[in-house]
Amino acid sequence: MSEYLQDREKQIVTKGKDAHDVEGGKPSLSGSVSQRACVFCGSRVVLYPIADAVHLVHGPIGCASYTWDIRGALSSGPELHRSSFSTDLREKHVVFGGETQLYQSLVELIDKYQPKAAFVYSTCIVGVIGDDVQSVCKRVAEEKSIPVIPVMSEGFQGSKKDGYKIACDALAALIGTDESLDVSSMSINILGDFNLAGELWILEEYYKKMDIQILAPITGDGRVKNIQNAHRAALNVVQCSGSMMHLAKYMKETYGIPFIKVSYFGIEDMSDALYEVAKFFKNEVVMDKARELVKDQLKNLLPALEPYKTALTGKKAAIYVGGAFKAISLVKALRLIGVKPVIVGTQTGNTDDYRLLKTICDDGCILVDDSNPIELSEFVKQTGADLFIGGVKERPIAYKLGIGFCDHNHERKMALAGYEGMLNFAKEVYETVSSPVWQFVHRTSSEKN
Amino acid sequence: MNIAESHIDKNNNKTHIASCNACKQCAPLGACIAFKGIEGMLPMLHGSQGCATYIRRYLISHFREPMDIASSNFSEETTIFGGNRNFNDGIDNIISQYHPAVIAIASTCLSETIGEDVQRLIYEYKGMHENESDLPEMIFASTPSYQGTHLEGFHEAVFAAIKALSENAGSVGNHINLFCNMISPEDIRHLKEIVEDFAVQSMIFPDYSDTLDSTSWDNYHRISEGGTPVSSLRRSGSAYASVELGYILNSGGMNGRIKENAIKQSAGEYLKAKFAVPLVRTGLPIGLLETDKFFDHVSRISGQPTPQKYKQQRGRLIDLYIDGHKYVSGKRVVIYGEEDLVVALAAFAAEIGIKPMLCASGGESGKLQETLKIVLGDLYPGDMIVGQGFSFDQMEESMRDLNPDLMIGNSKGYYIARKMDIPLIRTGFPIHDRIGAQHTRTLGYEGTTILFEQIVNALLEDKQRKSPIGYKYM
C-alpha cells in the first residue's frame, strides 16, 4: 500500500485483516484526484428534480454548464428543471458586484417562465465578492409573489454532503407555506428518491395498491405546491439517508412527523420499505395488501432472476458510489444474484456506515472512503473484480482494466428501484459481465484464469 | 445588420440577461484538454474540489477515457487565508502518486478572485525544493471562469506551456510548430500524417491523440502515454515556422472584461515576438477551399509539392461533391460551436451550396462576423444571423423563423433539433450522446469527405423517414 497517499490509511480497511474502523467524513487531501464533488453539487442534485421551479445558478458559467440536464430525473408535467439557468458572471461583476445581474436575471426568468418558485444557488465566488443574495431573493419574492429561495452552496464551504444539508434548509423554507392540498390519513412523503428513470412512479404504484397517499415526493417529480404541503403528511419515508436525513429530522422537530429509513434497491430492502410503512399505520388491511403485493411481485421476479444467478454465481464486484445507504443495498442485491462484493467504497459515508458495511461484507472485502482512480484500480487488480458498479467517473477505470461496468449513478436511464428494478439490475450486470468482448482483453490478475 | 450581440437579440429586441442553456463551458475545462497534450503531465486545478470533478465527468462523457485531474481542494480557511499550503501539499501529493514530468496548473474563478499568485507559489515551491534534481516542470495558465469560454482557456494553456518551456537554441532548426487548435484525437492523427507525408519535421501541440484516445490496458496507467514531449516544446523557439490553425483563437476582446488592453497572445504570436519564428495562420482545414489553403501553406513551408495521395483525396472529394450536390443544394443550416470551428463549417457549407442561416457561438471574440465575411467572401449570405455570445436558448428563438433543414454542431443542440424534427450532424465538443467522439474526422480532404457523406445521408434519411412512400432508391 506504499503508493497510496499518506494520511489515507485510516480510510482504507480490509475486512478480516485490519482491526480499525474506516474513518468517514474527512475532507479530501489537496492534490488528490477525489471522486467527490463540491457543496454546490450536493445542493444542486438534491433540488434539481423540482420541475416547476427555476433553478438559477449565480456564478460564472461553468457550474451551470456542467449541471445542465445532468440527472435522468423525470417529470410527469413541467420540465423547467431540464434547462440550465445562470447569471453567467463576468469580470466586471466580480469587481463591481453581481447583485444587479442576479436581480435582473431573476425578474427576466420569472416573467418568461412563470415558475412556482425560484432557487438561487450561490457558487464559490459569490461568497467571496459578497453579493447579498438573500436580500435580492427577498426583494424578488415580494415583487413577484413567489418563493425565491437562496441556496447558499458556495463550493469551498465543505463537501457534497454539506451541500445536501443546505438543500434541505432550502426545502425547509418551502415546507409549511401552503395548506391547500387534500391529505388522507394515510399519507407519506417520499424523501430522497429522485425519480431517476421513473423510479418514483414504480414506488407510487406499490403504495397506491396499499391505499397510501404520497403527498410530496421530495424531490423526484417534485412540485413546489406538494413540498409546501409536506408538513401535513403522517410519515416521512427517507431513502438515500445521506442527503435527506437532515430534512427528516427537521420535520420531526418542527412538525412532529416521524420518519423511517428505507431503501428501494433489492428485494429485501424494497419489501421492508413497504412493510415498515404498513406497520407504521397499524392497519391490518394495509399490511395484508403489502404482503399480497410482495407475494405477487416475487412470484414472477424470483424465477426470472434464477438464470442470472446461475450465470453470475462466483463473480466479484467492486462498488464505489456516493452514499453508504446505496452501497449497503447494493451489497444485498448483488448477493441475491450470486455476486460477491470485494470492494465497497463511498464518497460520503461516515464511520458508522462503514461499521455496518463491515458486518455485512465477507472477509477480504476492501472498504474505502473518498477513494481515487489510482486506489480503485489497484483494488480491482488485487481482488480480481469482474464488475464495477459506480458512476461515469468510475467507468473508464473499469473499462480500461477490462471489466464490466454498471452505472448506478444519476445519469442512468434504467430504473433500478423496486422489483422491476431488481430484474433490470440483474440483467444489466449479466449483460456487461457476460459480453464476449472481454475475451480480447489481456487480464494479468493472478486470480484470473 | 444582423449581428446579435451578447444578450441582445436585435431581431426581436428581447434582452437576455440570464444565460439559458449556455453554448460554452468555463475556461479551466479548455485548459485541461490542452494540458492533456503534454507528455507525462498531470493537471491540477487551483480551487474547489467541484471544479475538477465536474470537468472530469464532462470530459469523460466525451472522450470516454480516464481523466485524472487533481484539485488543491480549497476549504473555507483556504479561501480566507490563501491557498499556499493547499498548493504545496497538492504538488507534494501529485508527485508522490503520479511522478509526473510536468504538473500543469490552471486557476479557477475562486483562486483568481481571492488574488492567488500562482506563479509566485510555483517559485516558492521550487525554492523550497531547490536541492531536488527531479522536480517536475510546472506550468501555469490563468483561467478564471468569468473570462472567456473553454476555448480561451484552451488557448491560454497552449500559450502558457509554450511561454514556460520554449527556448532559444541559438540557431534555426529544421522543424515547424503546428498549433492545431481544439480538434479530435483522430484529427490530430490525421494532421500528423499529412505533415509527415510532406517529410516535414513537426511539433504538433497540443497532441492528445494518444492521451485522450488510448488502447485497452492491462494495468491502470497513472498518466496515459503520448503527448507532445517537453523536449519538443523547448525546441518550439527554434522552429523555422509556426502554423496556427484558427483565425480567431484567443485574439478577441471578452465581453464583461474590464481591461480591454489585456488581450492575450497566442502561442504562435508569442514565438514570433520572442524568437522571431515566422507565423502562418490559416483556418481549420474543413471543406475543399480551406483545406487547399492549409496544403498550400505546408507545401510552401516545406518546399515540397502536395503528395499524390492527397491530390487523389482531393479529386475524390470533388467527385463526391458532384454526386451529392443536388441533395444539399439550397438547404438551410444552423451552425454552432467554438468560433473557429463555426467559421470553418460555414465555409464548407457555403461551398457545397448549403446556406448558413445562423452561425452561433458562445464565444465573444467580437470577430466572428468579420472573419466569416472574409473567409466566405462572395458566398457570405446577406441575411445570415451571426450570434456571438449566444446560448442555445437564443439560438432556438432565432431559429423559429429560419426554417432550417439541419443543424451542425455539438450534441447539446440535440434538444432543439428534436423539437424541430431536423437532423443534427454531431461534430466538435462535446458529444455526450454518441460513442466515438474521439474518432470523428473532420479535417482535410478525407475528413471533409466523411462530413459531406454524413450530411447528405442525414438529409436522405430525413427525407426517407418523412416520406409516406418508402423509396428504395434515393
Compare CB distances from A32 to B67, B70, B217 and report the shortest one's residue: B70
Chain B partners within 8 Å of A56 (Cβ): 18
Whether the predicted pLDDT of B318 surpasses 80: yes
Note whether B337 and B188 are same-domain residues. Answer: no
Name residues whose C-beta falls within 8 Å of residue A113's C-beta, 6 or more positions apart in sequence. A54, A80
Q: Is B313 inside a domain boundary? A: no
Q: Check residue A14 and report its DSSP letter.
A: E
Q: Within 13 Å and on the Cβ side, how many CA atoms surround B48?
A: 31
Tell me whether A94 touches chain B (CB under 8 Å): yes
Other C-beta atoms closer than 10 Å to the C-beta of B442 total 25
**Mean pLDDT, rounded, for B193-222:** 95
The interface residues of chain A toward chain B in range 400-439, judged by CB-CB distance below 8 A, are 400-402
Tell me whether A396 touches chain B (CB under 8 Å): yes
In tens, the pLDDT along B352-366 reads 999 999 999 999 999
Note whether B213 and B261 are same-domain residues. Answer: yes
Catalogue the E-assigned strands of B83-234.
Answer: 102-107, 137-141, 175-179, 201-205
Query: Is-contact A265 A417, C-beta < 8 A?
Result: yes
Collapsing DSSP to helix, strand or coil, A283 comes out as coil
The predicted pLDDT at position B4 comes to: 42
pTM assigned to the model: 0.95
| Rg (alpha carbons) of chain A, rounded to whole number | 23
The predicted pLDDT at position A2 comes to: 45
Name the residue of chain A whose CA is nearest to B55's CA. Answer: A66
Tell me whether A443 touches chain B (CB under 8 Å): yes
Query: Is-contact B111 B83, C-beta < 8 A?
Result: yes
Name residues whose C-beta falls within 8 Å of residue A433's C-beta, 6 or more positions apart in sequence. A312, A315, A386, A387, A404
CA nearest to B252, candidates B366, B156, B342: B366
- What does the alpha-carbon distance between residue B321 and residue A153 come to, in Å, rounded to a whole number? 54
- What does the alpha-carbon distance between residue B229 and residue A312 come to, in Å, rounded to a whole number? 45
Runs of H (alpha helix) within A147-237: 160-174, 199-209, 224-228
Give the domain CATH number at B445.
3.40.50.1980
- Full domain range(s) for residue B405: 3-17+325-466
The predicted pLDDT at position B244 comes to: 98
Tell me whether B58 touches chain A (CB under 8 Å): yes
CA separation, residue A23 to residues A9, A19, A165, B239 (Å): 9, 12, 20, 54
Domain boundary (B282, B306, B338) is at B282
Q: Is B295 inside a domain boundary? A: no
Note whether B411 and B352 are same-domain residues. Answer: yes
Q: Between helices A324-336 and A241-255, what is the axis angle to 10°?
A: 120
Mutate to test the interface with A, among B45, B146, B259 (most CBs of A within 10 A): B146
Domain boundary (B282, B306, B336) is at B282
Number of domains in chain B: 2
Q: How remote is the C-alpha of B439 from its chain's centroid?
A: 15
Compare CB distances from A392 to B17, B61, B144 and report the shortest one's residue: B61
Q: How close does chain B come to A58, measured CA to CA in Å?
A: 10
A400 and B146: CB-CB below 8 Å? no
Largest separation between any pair of C-alpha atoms in chain B: 78
Q: Is B89 inside a domain boundary? A: yes
Note whether B371 and B459 are same-domain residues. Answer: yes
- What does the alpha-carbon distance between residue B394 and residue B400 come to, in Å, rounded to a whole number? 10
Chain A partners within 8 Å of B70 (Cβ): 31-33
A62 and B57: CB-CB below 8 Å? no
- What does the alpha-carbon distance between residue A366 and residue A368 come to, in Å, rounded to a whole number? 6
The predicted pLDDT at position A159 comes to: 85
The predicted pLDDT at position B448 comes to: 98
B18 and A377: CB-CB below 8 Å? no
Beta-carbon pairs below 8 A across chains A and B: 252
The predicted pLDDT at position B133 comes to: 86
CA nearest to A371, candidates A326, A318, A420: A318
Compare CB distances from A157 to B53, B58, B76 and report the shortest one's residue: B76
Q: What's chain B's average pLDDT?
A: 93
Tell me whether B84 touches chain A (CB under 8 Å): no
Collapsing DSSP to helix, strand or coil, A263 comes out as coil
B57 and A444: CB-CB below 8 Å? no
B93 and A374: CB-CB below 8 Å? no
Note whether B51 and B167 are same-domain residues. Answer: yes
For the residues of B75-89, what is the DSSP string, one character each? -HHHHHH-SHHHHHH
Q: Is B309 inside a domain boundary? A: no
B48 and A85: CB-CB below 8 Å? no
For the residues of A352-395, what is the DSSP string, one character each? HHHHHHHHHSPTT-EEEES--HHHHHHHHHHHT-SEEEE-TTTH
Q: How close does chain B come to A302, measured CA to CA in Å?
A: 34
Q: Which residues of A367-401 are buried (b: 16+ CB within 10 A; e: fewer)?
A: bbbbbbbbbbbbbbbbbebbbbbbbbbbbbbbbbb
Domain boundary (B249, B264, B282) is at B282
The predicted pLDDT at position A27 comes to: 85
Q: Within 13 Å and on the Cβ side, how many CA atoms surround A406?
A: 29
Length of chain A: 449
**Domains of chain A with bracketed CATH:** 9-25+309-440 (3.40.50.1980), 39-174 (3.40.50.1980), 187-294 (3.40.50.1980)
Other C-beta atoms closer than 10 Å to the C-beta of B105 total 28
Note whether B252 and B334 are same-domain residues. Answer: no
Whether the predicted pLDDT of B199 surpasses 60: yes
Collapsing DSSP to helix, strand or coil, B448 comes out as helix
Q: How close does chain B come to A152, measured CA to CA in Å?
A: 13
Compare CB distances from B49 to A28, A109, A127 and report the shortest one's residue: A28
Note whether B341 and B239 are same-domain residues. Answer: no
- What does the alpha-carbon distance between residue A42 and residue A35 come to, in Å, rounded to a whole number? 13
Query: Is-contact A255 A270, C-beta < 8 A?
Result: no
Q: Is B116 inside a domain boundary? A: yes
Tell me whether B52 touches chain A (CB under 8 Å): yes
**Mean pLDDT, rounded, for B255-277:** 80
Compare CB distances from B110 to A27, A88, A125 and report the shortest one's residue: A125
Pairing of strands B19-20, A85-86: antiparallel
Tell me whether B394 touches chain A (CB under 8 Å): no
Note whether B364 and B268 are same-domain residues. Answer: no
B64 and A399: CB-CB below 8 Å? yes
ipTM value for the complex: 0.94
**Mean pLDDT, rounded, for B370-375:** 98
CA dihedral A176, A178, A180, A183 (to 10 degrees): -20
Pairing of strands B41-46, B102-107: parallel
Whether the predicted pLDDT of B220 surpasses 70: yes
Note whether B12 and B50 are same-domain residues. Answer: no
Whether the predicted pLDDT of B258 surpasses 80: no
Name residues whose C-beta falls within 8 Å of residue A364's C-beta, 6 or more positions apart in sequence. A14, A15, A16, A17, A342, A383
- What does the alpha-carbon distance between residue A119 and residue B206 come to, in Å, rounded to a whole number? 40
Taking phi first (over 0 means left), then psi (-120 to 50 degrees means alpha), and beta for anything else, what does residue B329 get? beta
Q: Which of the four pLDDT bands, split at 50, 70 and 90, describes residue B351?
A: very high
- What does the alpha-carbon distance between residue A346 and residue A325 come to, in Å, rounded to a whole number? 9
- What does the alpha-carbon distance between residue A366 and residue A31 come to, in Å, rounded to a whole number? 23
Note whether B62 and B92 are same-domain residues. Answer: yes
Tell me whether A397 touches chain B (CB under 8 Å): yes
Q: Is B473 inside a domain boundary? A: no
Ranges A287-291, A339-343, B1-5, B173-177: which has the least confidence: B1-5
Q: Is B311 inside a domain boundary? A: no
Residue at grid coordinates 481544439: B182
Ranges A156-165, B96-105, B443-452: which has the least confidence: A156-165
Q: How remote is the C-alpha of B68 from its chain's centroid?
A: 20
B146 and A381: CB-CB below 8 Å? no
- What does the alpha-carbon distance between residue B236 and residue B267 come to, in Å, rounded to a whole number? 10
Tell me the β-bridge partners of A191: A218, A238
The x, y and z cell numbers of residue A187, run together, are 399519507
Whether the predicted pLDDT of B257 surpasses 80: no
Tell me whether A158 touches chain B (CB under 8 Å): yes
Tell me whether B416 touches chain A (CB under 8 Å): no
Runs of H (alpha helix) within A256-283: 267-280
CA nearest to A179, candidates A91, A262, A255: A255
The x, y and z cell numbers of residue B425, run together, are 450532424
Q: Is B262 inside a domain boundary? A: yes
- What does the alpha-carbon distance between residue A84 and residue A61 come to, in Å, rounded to a whole number? 10
- What does the alpha-carbon distance between residue A434 and residue A426 come to, in Å, rounded to a whole number? 12
CA nearest to B375, candidates B328, B399, B404, B339: B339
B17 and A105: CB-CB below 8 Å? yes
- What does the alpha-carbon distance between residue A399 and residue B84 come to, in Å, rounded to a whole number? 37
The interface residues of chain A toward chain B in range 261-320, judged by CB-CB distance below 8 A, are none
Note whether B375 and B450 are same-domain residues. Answer: yes
- Bond from prior residue into A254 cis (ω within 30 degrees of 0): no
B257 and A125: CB-CB below 8 Å? no
The predicted pLDDT at position A447 comes to: 47
Note whether B221 and B364 are same-domain residues. Answer: no
Query: Is-contact A154 A124, C-beta < 8 A?
Result: yes
Collapsing DSSP to helix, strand or coil, B472 comes out as coil
Q: What are phi and psi of A311, to 5 degrees?
A: -70, -30
Tell me the β-bridge partners of A406: A389
Name residues whose C-beta falls within 8 Å of residue A162's C-beta, 6 or more positions apart in sequence. A39, A42
User: Residue B121 is which amino acid?
Assistant: L
Tell me whether A103 touches chain B (CB under 8 Å): no
Q: How close does chain B come to A232, measured CA to CA in Å?
A: 35
Of residues A446 and B155, more confidently modeled: B155
Name the residue of chain A whose CA is nearest to B103's CA. Answer: A31
> How do the pLDDT tens digits run along chain A, 449 residues long?
445 666 788 899 999 888 889 988 888 889 989 888 899 999 999 999 999 999 999 999 999 999 999 888 999 999 999 999 999 999 999 999 999 999 999 999 999 999 999 999 999 999 899 999 999 999 999 999 999 999 999 999 988 889 999 999 999 999 999 999 999 999 999 999 999 999 999 999 999 999 999 999 999 999 999 999 999 999 999 986 678 999 999 999 999 999 999 999 999 999 999 999 999 999 999 999 999 999 999 999 999 999 999 999 999 999 999 888 889 989 999 999 999 999 999 988 889 999 999 999 999 999 999 999 999 999 999 999 999 999 999 999 999 999 999 998 877 888 999 999 999 999 999 999 999 999 998 655 544 44
Query: Is-contact A127 B113, C-beta < 8 A?
Result: no
Name the residue of chain B whose CA is nearest to A391's CA. Answer: B57
- What does the alpha-carbon distance between residue A118 and residue A136 come to, in Å, rounded to a whole number? 12
End-to-end CA distance of chain A: 25
Tell me whether A89 touches chain B (CB under 8 Å): yes
B220 and A128: CB-CB below 8 Å? no
Whether the predicted pLDDT of B452 surpasses 60: yes
CA separation, residue A78 to residues A75, A178, A223, B21, B391 (Å): 7, 20, 9, 17, 21
CA dihedral A108, A111, A112, A115 (to 10 degrees): 110
Name residues whose C-beta falls within 8 Å of residue A37's C-beta, 6 or more positions apart in sequence. A160, B49, B50, B53, B54
CA separation, residue B64 to residues A66, A321, A374, A386, B471 (Å): 16, 19, 17, 20, 38
